[in-house]
Chain A
């Protein structure tokens, strides 16, 4: 089966610093890959290179077998790449519903529709409702995104990606900064997405118990390089993870 997302020798340097160093890796439908590594390992940068927020210095990105290396983020999104950001990235002055509706609208390809006002677009609104329900924000639809608590903003971030209905989901620490009782909503949601064998899921996550319970495969980044790649049990047991990853982070086994 062709990988839905693949990188070949992908690299980027910021000045003298190589943040992502020749990473070759392929992600397949039906697979949830956890990407782990210490702070500054290059996980977010690797994501940015794949989803088009950053352009690679060298190497290739393939999306569903198509070379998208020179395409921008909008085109990659249209090809089915969904991204939820580590640093919450919303439309602060718009309502929660409008934030998600912008995603369903993009998904439906309604870009330059000038004349049909929103109330006539029931289907898009219904889908936005569904996405909000999936993360438990249905009661806060009319709130301004900026007025939400941090945890709710994280949920909205995820709801926007769900509403985009991508074939490749990229979660960048979706539960970071959430209170303990808010986390399960997101994890259940990811578990549900995982049941759909046509979806490819990438998850950057620091919490090892989460990784263990969800991942089919773990990729370890270290200093911008791919340090390990394999099934969870093997990777977690490998010396490089024990030393380079688990060793440096406090509380990772919690």
Chain B
């Protein structure tokens, strides 16, 4: 295949990746309604966010805490451009371009500054820089709207009131939300495919070599500081795209949707439960995580009520919907324990050849 030298291994895995992709492609028709479409869009965004993080974590073996910052740069780039310039595609393009430029420069600075020293220093610098960025974003009230963030209008075709066609298609009214969803989906697919191509390029293989054995990679003539820095920039660009698409979908940008530490943790969880170093893992991980995040509470609520009705002690409290994070954490620990290589690793364990 032109895109990848390594298609996903194993039938179950291929079937799962195809099933999730198809479900996302047909989401507006399969799961009509406001909440399901929100969930589907979030799966797309997290799949891309996870895939771009995987380029760093799984391929280059680098731990970054600044990934959500680059996501935020994309979100704020598009959000503030639309807020300031009004709802036009020009503003979207400008915001995205500005976001990409800022992200790349930040990534370049972080990489060149920290990677000359040691990989652990890189991790600490990403933490420090993203913290500083968060403070800056909430302090620059006049620009970012501070803690309240900014709500903005999107180009007309993306607005909820917009009608694409008057009739319904397959029983679904096609309006601005559906168009927005497909913009998010297509955007994520295109950037995901670009990432897929990158990890399977000669450069991508060098990243894996550096992860496996930096000492040997240097002995072959690879200057690993530059490779790691380039990987940081590319991953940052991927996260910026994800952030921009997310802002367009939400029509809002603020610290809690663009910069929250919980997004960074969610990204890590997506990549780890999906399987590091595979890229496809991010699709499965995102689907699992976002669906769990959104429906675990409903499920727990049902269990809790049922337990309460049955007069069981303790259980209603344990399964209270507010405890969903506890259960998610538990599921995460179990997943890491029983499938350390993630879903992809667990499903493709068929031979002793390459991953």
Contact = CB atoms under 8 A, between A and B. Distances in A.
A binds B: yes
A112 B210 CA distance: 13
B2 A89 contact: no
A54 to B, nearest CB: 11
Interface in A65-85: 72-75, 77-78, 83, 85
Interface in B198-247: 198, 200-206, 208-209, 212-213, 215-224, 226-227, 230, 234
Contact of B221 (A74, A89, A113): A74
Contact of A102 (B197, B206, B354): B206
B352 A147 contact: yes
Interface string B239-272: 0000000000000000000000000000000000
A118 B2 CA distance: 9
A160 interface: yes
A237 B355 CA distance: 53
B204 to A, nearest CB: 8
Interface residues on A, range: 35 or more
A51 interface: yes
Interface in A14-47: none
A91 B216 contact: yes
Interface in B128-153: none
A73 B224 CA distance: 11
A167 interface: no
A207 interface: no
A95 B5 CA distance: 13
Contacts of A144: 352-354
A198 to B, nearest CB: 19
Dominant SS at the B interface? helix
A116 interface: yes
Given A77-B218, A105-B206, A111-B223, 12 more contacts: A51-B219, A75-B223, A89-B216, A91-B208, A91-B213, A94-B354, A95-B353, A102-B206, A105-B202, A111-B226, A115-B198, A117-B2
30 contacts: A72-B223, A73-B219, A74-B223, A77-B220, A83-B219, A85-B216, A89-B219, A93-B208, A94-B208, A94-B354, A98-B208, A105-B205, A105-B206, A106-B222, A110-B202, A111-B222, A111-B227, A112-B203, A112-B226, A113-B201, A114-B203, A115-B201, A116-B202, A117-B197, A118-B5, A118-B201, A119-B1, A119-B2, A164-B220, A164-B221
Interface of A: 51, 53, 72-75, 77-78, 83, 85, 89-95, 98, 101-103, 105-107, 110-119, 121, 124, 142-144, 147, 160, 164
